[in-house]
A and B are shown apart, each in its own frame.
Chain A
Amino acid sequence: MSKKAIEAKKIKKYFFSPGKTQVLKEVSFSVNKGEFVSVMGKSGCGKSTLLYILSTMDTDYEGEVFLDDKLITGQSSNYLSRLRNEKIGFVFQFHYLIHEFSVLENVMIPGLKLNEKSREELEHIAMEKLKIFDMQDHALKKANQLSGGQKQRVSIARALMNNPLIIMSDEPTGNLDKKNSDMVFGIFSEIVQEFQQTILMVTHDQELASKTDRTILMEDGMVISHG
């Protein structure tokens, strides 16, 4: 069994509008299983771009990405969809909950999509995930009845639903006040410690980054420090 959850090898990314610009310049790094890694760098240095490539949503790049030691570069989009469903949990800056569904249903969706367990089992698992964040009392509320911090907790629970190999997060606290961002960060630390969850988190909060296992520093499309 390999130690590496995800590995990027010489990732290059170009944008063509307006004019050809290279946003990522041979980015290579890896994240070990059970590690909590943060990525920092100035705005516009390519952090989000990198994260979209690693999450398999962006397939237009050069270089290679390995997930659990398997090469995922060049795989079919159906294969990648399934991979995202099963192995990757994504937490965005904006929660992106489906407002017409209840909190519980929102958390269950990745499990329903994976379609390996019965609905009852999935409901039970989703409830367990909500309990981690003390959100079980809100399970039957509609998603749009929650506050910003609560929504972000639900979206983390959703990312955890299929027990993913890695959780990726693009500035999850960027849109929250100090109290709520501390809480979200607290949750991340907790699931790393309790469940050995691997997390790769982009942030521009120096204080939060310093509390992670390791911080990868980026500048101008390149990694300048692996922490």
Chain B
Amino acid sequence: MRVSLIVDIAKALMVARLKQTMVAAVGVTFSITMFIALLGFMNGLNDLLDGLILNRTAHVRFYNDIKPNEDQPINLSNEFSGGYNIIRSVKPSISRVSIYNNESIIRTLKGDERILGVAPKIAVQVFFNVGNVDIPGVLNGIQVDEENRLFAFSDYVVAGDFMDLQYSSNSIILGKGAAEKMMAEIGDYVQVTTAQGNRQLLKVVGYYQSGIGELDNLQSYVSLASAQKLLGETSSFITDIQVKLHDFNLSPELAREYRSIFGIDADDIQTVNAQFETGSNIRSIISYAVGITLLVVSGFGIYNILNMMIYEKMDTIAILKAIGFSGADVRNIFITIALSIGFVGGLLGLFFGFISCLGIEKIPFETEALPAIKTFPVNFNPKYYLIGGVFSLVTTYFAGFFPSRKASKIDPVEIIRGK
């Protein structure tokens, strides 16, 4: 059987009912357009919201937690080794918050191929002394260039130049919320006191705004060296090692691995931010559900047009069968019609979907909370276009399935005799 004949006949039937065929195709186009626009927008939003936390957060964070010693003296005693020892009211021992031998740890981590980068950090609890009130805050001592490379630090510095932190000593980038409370302008000096009682004047060189108010009220940034100086520690003192991976899905595995090797605490991003994953998934599911619903509706459109075509072209089907077309040939003709509608409609849908995504991307979207965002975010992942294309063919195939089967079963004798 030559395929071109089936296609020619399918084409002739479509031309005969051009208007309806086009309406059916427009139905598919519309739903695929919506599907693409919706998925692009929703996932753009997902990326944005995830990025808000995920890009700012280390994929794995190494630190020493303050906690009771796991090897309490009683466990070491032979006398009680057979029993199950319960100790009440255990207090944490004086343990180092700094990471011991951190230089070799960092070297090891940098040698790991899964790891994109490593940034050391010092977190210092401080009070800002403003007049006669003390405002609590956290100073993050960071390695400015690495922090920027791995965690897009500069995106969140809304005023001032972030590199000043590195170039001028005793400088600070204040959290926007904290700065507003202290009414500290750029160029002003603020006084901080650490828990140990060390005091220091720091010059404000910028504001930091993450979009998460809680953080912006609390977190401020200084250079690693300033933080060490403030604490009166040597340059080997750090409290956190932040790691960013090429594939953040590997973080639980990596955290587990190095936790046992280095014997320090390690948190992975999945465990810390499990709720973000859930939110993204739900938004994706909603967009898929809406897209598929639209496609099913347009599938009914195709179902209708095919049924109508079959009803109107009963004579043609009868004569084709009389000439020697088998049931399968007739079925293929109508499946071809359905798939052509799906293909053309789908292709246009992908195109218009892309155009709408470009349009959405131009809509201004400015909010205080998201300084780096100027327009609506859109995700142009080809995956959605592939899924949209496949869906349009699959739904139209199913929409065409029953009408085609009906056509293939038409008894030519009944039609010819009916005249």
- Listed in ascending order, the chain A residues whose CB lies under 8 Å from chain B are 48, 52, 55, 57-58, 77-78, 81-86, 90, 92-94, 96-101, 105, 109-110, 112-115, 158
In contact, B417 and A48 (Cβ under 8 angstroms): yes
CB < 8 Å: which of B1, B321, B326, B413 contacts A115? Answer: B1
Residue B16 lies at the interface, judged by CB distance under 8 Å to chain A: yes
Q: A57-B321, A81-B325, A101-B12 are in contact. Are A94 and B412 (CB under 8 A)?
A: no
Residue B133 lies at the interface, judged by CB distance under 8 Å to chain A: no
CB < 8 Å: which of A58, A98, A101 contacts B413? Answer: A58
Residue B5 lies at the interface, judged by CB distance under 8 Å to chain A: yes
Q: A98-B12, A112-B2, A115-B2 are in contact. Are A57 and B413 (CB under 8 A)?
A: yes
B213 to chain A: closest CB distance in Å?
67
In contact, B324 and A110 (Cβ under 8 angstroms): yes
Which residue of chain A is the closest to B16 with respect to CB atoms? A100
Complex CA–CA separation, A131 to B327 (angstroms): 33
Complex CA–CA separation, A105 to B15 (angstroms): 16
In contact, A113 and B325 (Cβ under 8 angstroms): yes
In contact, B326 and A81 (Cβ under 8 angstroms): yes
In contact, A57 and B5 (Cβ under 8 angstroms): no
Q: Which size bracket describes the interface of B in this complex?
A: 20 to 34
Complex CA–CA separation, A84 to B9 (angstroms): 19
* Residues of B close to A113: CB separation below 8 A: 1, 5, 323-325, 329
Q: Give the interface segment out of B146-154, B176-184, B311-319.
A: B311-319
Residue B88 lies at the interface, judged by CB distance under 8 Å to chain A: no
B73 to chain A: closest CB distance in Å?
89
A59 to chain B: closest CB distance in Å?
10
* Residues of B close to A83: CB separation below 8 A: 324
B97 to chain A: closest CB distance in Å?
82
* Residues of B close to A81: CB separation below 8 A: 321, 324-327, 329
* Residues of B close to A92: CB separation below 8 A: 319, 322, 416
Complex CA–CA separation, A83 to B322 (angstroms): 11
4 smallest A-B Cβ distances: which pairs?
A85-B324, A100-B12, A96-B319, A81-B326
* Residues of B close to A86: CB separation below 8 A: 324
* Residues of A close to B419: CB separation below 8 A: 93-94
* Residues of B close to A94: CB separation below 8 A: 315, 419
Q: A55-B322, A57-B321 are in contact. Are A77 and B417 (CB under 8 A)?
A: no
B241 to chain A: closest CB distance in Å?
72
In contact, A110 and B413 (Cβ under 8 angstroms): no
In contact, B15 and A109 (Cβ under 8 angstroms): no
Complex CA–CA separation, A114 to B2 (angstroms): 9
Complex CA–CA separation, A163 to B324 (angstroms): 14
* Residues of A close to B325: CB separation below 8 A: 81, 85, 113
Complex CA–CA separation, A30 to B406 (angstroms): 36
Complex CA–CA separation, A85 to B1 (angstroms): 12
In contact, B413 and A52 (Cβ under 8 angstroms): yes
In contact, A96 and B315 (Cβ under 8 angstroms): yes
In contact, A96 and B318 (Cβ under 8 angstroms): yes
Residue B48 lies at the interface, judged by CB distance under 8 Å to chain A: no
Complex CA–CA separation, A101 to B15 (angstroms): 11
* Residues of A close to B329: CB separation below 8 A: 81, 113
Which residue of chain A is the closest to B319 with respect to CB atoms? A96
Pull 6 A–B residue pairs with CB atoms less than 8 Å apart, ordered by A.
A48-B417, A84-B323, A86-B324, A96-B316, A96-B318, A99-B16
* Residues of A close to B319: CB separation below 8 A: 92, 96-98
B86 to chain A: closest CB distance in Å?
82
Complex CA–CA separation, A52 to B413 (angstroms): 7
Complex CA–CA separation, A98 to B314 (angstroms): 11
16 more contacts with CB within 8 A, not counting A90-B322, A93-B419, are A78-B328, A81-B326, A81-B327, A92-B416, A96-B322, A96-B416, A98-B12, A98-B316, A100-B13, A100-B15, A109-B323, A110-B323, A112-B5, A113-B5, A115-B2, A158-B323
Complex CA–CA separation, A52 to B15 (angstroms): 31
A43 to chain B: closest CB distance in Å?
13
CB < 8 Å: which of B8, B324, B327 contacts A84? Answer: B324
